[in-house]
Amino acid sequence: MFERLQKKWKVKGWQLALILITFTIGGSATGYIGKKLMPVFAIGPAWLWVLVYILLVTIIWPIAVLIVSIPLGQFPFFIKYIGKLGRRIGLGSSDVKRETSNVKRLTSDVSRFTHIAIFASGAGSNAQKIIDHFRDHAIAKISLIVCNNPAAGVLQIAAKEEIPVLLIEKDRFYKDDAYIKELNEYRIDLIVLAGFLWKIPVALLNMYPGRILNIHPALLPNYGGKGMYGQAVHEAVIKAGETESGITVHYVDEIYDNGKIIFQAHCPVLPADTADSLARRIHQLEHQHYPKVIERVVAGINEV
């Protein structure tokens, strides 16, 4: 049974344990509060008492469970779970959103999430790893996928994960407001580039100083700059006869691949390597390290 629940909810074993504990404590709290409130109604007939009690605990339960979920770090899971439950029992989406908004306001002082936007242009393998890492995270969530390519595979990932998508156009991105209004609507605190091929405009850099990250598939400051992305990087590394390559996570500034380096990881370049074989090794490093580095940055933001 536990394995089925873990697979259904897409959570790790320890997260499943915390979810079940939240259900237990929230349910007990609901029953206790319901019984304490019932004398207020002074109801006579037993059948009416039972009916009112059922209605009362139905109202109390979502709030109780959400409040209990905060210290256990499961608030994002239960927000989504209760929203789905509300839709299944026939509540309109506006009702569910309104109740969710009310609970979020009640708990905003206790639970402050770092809202992350992933900017991606392609298949989204790094985006998927980041989403997996921050699923039901205690202090951060992936709140938005921003994409400049309507045919990008990352959009399918966003749909599967039920994450909102913002499709952007070049003119507005560079010549107008850089979609700052939409990013504010999603309360974005941190921007993570994961295979995003457009240069970040100054307006966005000014809006998010020190809060835009990028990952580069080489050891900067070598093999960076305009046009150095994807296979072009690996081909240049092999052509130069390098014996080592790797990844660099860095802050983004006005110059391509120039921002302050946060983290680097290394891997060998083998004599028989092609751009494709080296790319596979680099991807492994990206998937292994990028989500963890983002988490470190998030921890720093929450300490401010």
Q: Longest C-alpha distance within the chain, in Å?
A: 88
Contact by Cβ (8 Å): 217, 247:
yes
Strand ranges (E), 124-208:
140-147, 165-167, 190-193
CA distance 292 to 286: 10
* Parallel/antiparallel/unpaired status of strands 165-167 and 190-193: unpaired
* Parallel/antiparallel/unpaired status of strands 140-147 and 165-167: parallel
Catalytic residue among 216, 234, 250, 289: 216
Task: Tally Cβ neighbours within 10 Å of residue 210.
Answer: 15
- The full DSSP string for 221-275 is TTT-STT--THHHHHHHHHTT-SEEEEEEEE--SSTT-SPEEEEEEEE--TT--H
Handedness of CA 171, 172, 178, 179 (dihedral sign): negative
| Amino acid residing at 167 | L
Q: How far, CA to CA in Å, does 246 sit from each of 81, 234, 270?
A: 39, 10, 13
Question: Is 133 in the active site?
Answer: no
- Read off the tokens for 218: 């080489």
CA distance 62 to 96: 11
* Parallel/antiparallel/unpaired status of strands 114-120 and 261-268: unpaired
CA distance 232 to 279: 10
Task: Give the residue numbers annotated as catalytic, written as ranges.
Answer: 216
